[in-house]
Amino acid sequence: MPPGVEGGSVVRLLDVLAARVLPIGAFLYVIFLAVWDVFFYAPFGELAMWAVVLESVGLFLVGFACLGPGWMWVTRFYPRYVKLRSWMYRASQLGGFVALVLLFAGVWALAAGVQRSVNIVGDLSSEPERRDGVVCTHFNPEIRARGKGGRAIGAFMDVRYADGVRDRIQFYPAPRGAWGAGKGAEAERLCWSGAPFTLWRWPRTGVIADIASSGEE
């Protein structure tokens, strides 16, 4: 292979990743996560853990996509034409600033993705922690603001463990009806009743695996 041909192939591959595959992939994945949160997210169990896994994958995609402009700025003098590289060449100072900001954002997203992945692997390699005699001292239902621009605020529950430690468990906004049936309805009922219950929770991610009345487990 002639000198420079292999290097040119690597540059072309990185160009495709930086300018097309990663940005488009990250954009489509964010849309997928939005659809998942609206239709499939659940406050408890395996689906709740799957949401954490999917968010971690999204952090990696966004992180690598943020590194693309930095690659184009570093190689702005390379003759291969790419619109982003051409812009970096014509406005190198502004392009360098944008690339630097996105570099920090990308590094943060990758670091967060690594940390979450470590927590996920640690939780899935062990059983959820069981806490008996848990009492819910306050339950705040999910709030959905009506009208244009309305947003949802996830429910949360304040609990007191058998050893006296207090904790607040915050949930992401769930699809409509998630708290009206199944484990959501059971958790809300237990909170309003004030009766002690048993909680299974993965300690690193904080995801609740299951919840049941103390007399039912």
Taking only the tens of pLDDT, the chain with its 217 residues reads 344 445 567 778 878 888 888 889 999 999 998 888 778 777 888 888 888 999 999 999 999 998 888 888 888 777 776 777 787 778 888 888 888 888 899 999 999 999 999 999 999 998 899 999 999 888 887 665 554 445 566 778 889 998 889 988 887 766 665 666 677 778 888 888 888 989 999 999 988 888 888 665 5
User: Are 131 and 211 a contacting pair, CB within 8 Å?
Assistant: no
List of residues 6+ apart from 3 with CB closer than 8 A: none
CATH architecture for the domain at 129-213: Beta Barrel (2.40)
Distance CA 163, CA 133 (A): 9
Q: What is the DSSP letter of 82?
A: -
What separation, in Å, do the N-terminal and C-terminal C-alpha atoms of the chain show? 67
DSSP state of 126: S
Alpha helices per DSSP H over the chain: 5-16, 22-39, 45-74, 83-90, 92-124, 182-193
